Amino acid sequence: MTRPQPLIVGNWKMFGRASSVEVLAAIETGLEHSAPVEVAICPPFTLLALFAPLCRAVRLGAQDCNPRPDGPHTGEVNAAMLADFGVRYVIVGHSERRADQAETDAQIADKVTAAQSHGLTPILCVGESRTVRESGHAEAAVSAQLQAGLPDGVGAPLVIAYEPIWAIGTGLVPTTAEIAQMHAALRQVLNARLGAASAGVRILYGGSVKPAGAAEILATAGVDGALVGGASLVAQDFLSIIRAAPAAGAG
Ligand code: PGA
């Protein structure tokens, strides 16, 4: 099977201050010597305007968007506002937001629609808890979560990130067989919902991706890239992960 160009995304969460410009600069410099891999960084909202003119190879992403077009919603940022700053990707439905903000699948589906209608590519996150993994029903549960997070009539551009909650920030990673099985299940959902357009949808793995294990994960069947938290804050670690990605077309 021909692989699409891998996508490696850094999720900076509530880290990153103005001084992080140096990390971005080091990643940009490192990418001058890297094979063609698509790379995006999703810093906090406060850094988007600062990063926008500094991004060359790196694509700018955000960590969330409010699905509403405008209105009195204190503290919120919508997709149109992100598009103004040249943002290309937006993470939606990260498990930390599902937990912290009690986000529902219906709200997440609205965010997918809002992002796409403003020319942004949503990175829709799905993943099971430890309890669900141990119950043996992870594939059914995560497939259902993906179904519910996709709005009616969804098409491209779209990216999915499979992130087991128990793997995020813990150093634990599923086996490559478990990752391959889950990605195959999610691919089936995409095929059924998007038809031919599903071929353009990349499915990333996320959860404790570190330089040491990156090559094995990124070579796993059905893995089209990675969503990286902690390791994306250290330029050399993030570059190591980027360099571990297999070339497009290989595999
Ligand atoms: P981690 O985070 O790489 O630090 O586990 C991944 C994520 O939450 O996207």
Residue 2 has pLDDT above 70, yes or no: no
Give the pLDDT mean for 203-219. 98
Query: In this predicted structure, which of 26-35, 131-140, 176-185, 211-220 has the lowest mean pLDDT?
Result: 26-35
- What pLDDT score was predicted for residue 122? 98
pLDDT for 46 beyond 70? yes
Give the CA distances from residue 127 to residues 36, 107, 201, in Å, rounded to whole numbers and listed in that order: 28, 17, 17
Ligand 1 touching residue 11 (CB < 6 A): yes
Tell me, what's the pLDDT at 249? 66
Q: Which tokens sit at 74?
A: 């204190």
Q: Is the CB of 116 under 6 A from ligand 1?
A: no
Give the number of the atom of ligand 1 that is nearest the alpha carbon of residue 161: 9
Closest residue by Cα to atom 3, ligand 1, is 229
Q: What is the mean pLDDT of residues 225-231?
A: 98
Instruction: Indicate whether residue 230 lines ligand 1 (CB < 6 A).
Output: yes
For a pocket test of ligand 1, which of 126, 209, 233 has the largest count of ligand atoms closer than 8 A to its C-beta? 209
Confidence of residue 3 (pLDDT cuts 50, 70, 90): confident
Report the residue among 166, 168, 218 best suited for mutation to probe ligand 1: largest number of ligand atoms under 8 A from its CB: 168
| DSSP character at residue 13 | T
**Closest Cα to residue 88, out of 123, 139, 53?**
123
The answer, yes or no, to whether the previous bond of 53 is cis (omega within 30 of 0) is no
Per-residue pLDDT band for 251 (boundaries 50, 70, 90) equals low
Q: Are 193 and 186 in contact, with CB atoms under 8 Å apart? A: no
Report, as residue numbers or ranges, the catalytic residues.
94, 163
For CA atoms 109, 93, 82, 119, the dihedral sign is negative
- Is-above-0.95 flag for pTM? yes
Residue 96 CA to ligand 1 center (angstroms) comes to 10
Which residue lies with its CA nearest to atom 1 of ligand 1?
229
pLDDT at position 247? 80
Tokens read off for 226 = 């990675």
11-to-1, 96, 138, 180 alpha-carbon distances in Å: 29, 12, 24, 22
pLDDT value at 250 more than 60: no
Q: Is 195 in the pocket of ligand 1 (CB under 6 A)?
A: no
Q: Is the pLDDT of residue 87 over 90?
A: yes
Which of 92, 165, 208 has most ligand 1 atoms within 8 Å of CB, for mutation?
A: 208
For 142-195, the pLDDT digits (tens) are 999 999 999 999 999 999 999 999 999 999 999 999 999 999 999 999 999 999
Closest CA to 202 of 32, 38, 81: 38
Residue nearest to atom 7 of ligand 1 (CA): 229
